[in-house]
Structure 1
Amino acid sequence: MNTTTPTTPGKMSLAEIIDVLTRGEMPLRFTAYDGSSTGPDDAPYGLDLKTPRGATYIATAPGDLGMARAYVSGDLDITGVHPGDPYELFKVLSEDMHLHRPPAMTVASIMRSLGWERLRPIAPPPQETLPRWRRVAEGLRHSKTRDAESIHHHYDVSNAFYEKVLGPSMTYTCAAYPTADSTLEEAQEAKYQLVFDKLGLESGMRLLDVGCGWGGMVRFAARRGVKVIGATLSREQAEWAQKAIADEGLSELAEVRFSDYRDVPERGFDCISSIGMTEHIGVANYPSYFATLFDRLRPGGRLLNHCITRPDNHAKVKAGAFIDRYVFPDGELTGSGRIITEMQNIGFDVRHEENLREHYALTLRDWCRNLVENWDFCVNEVGEGTARVWGLYMAGSRLGFERNGIQLHQVLAVKPGEDGDAQVPLRPWWSR
Structure 2
Amino acid sequence: MSEQTPAQTPLQTLARPNPPLALEEAQRRLMALAPVLPTEHRTTADCLGVYLAEPLTALRTQPAADVSAMDGYALRAADLPGPWRVIGESAAGRPFAGTVGPGEAARISTGALVPAGADMVLIQEDAARSGDVLTLTGTPPEPPHRHIRRAGLDFRNGDVLMQPGTKVGAAQIALALTAGHAHLPVRRPLELAVIDSGDELAGACANLAAHQLPASNSAMLAALASQPALRITRIGPVPDRLEALMAAFEAASDADVIVTSGGASVGDHDLIRPALAALGADLAFWRVAIKPGKPLLVARRGAQVILGLPGNPAAAFVTGFLFLLPLIRAALGAADPLPRRIPARLREAMPAGGSRMEFLRAVWDAGEVSLDGLQDSGALSSLARANALAVRPANEPETPAGQFVPVYLL
Structure with higher helix content: 1
| Length-normalised TM-score, structure 2 | 0.23
- Which one has a bigger Cα radius of gyration? 2
TM-score for the superposition, normalised by structure 1: 0.22
More strand by percentage: 2
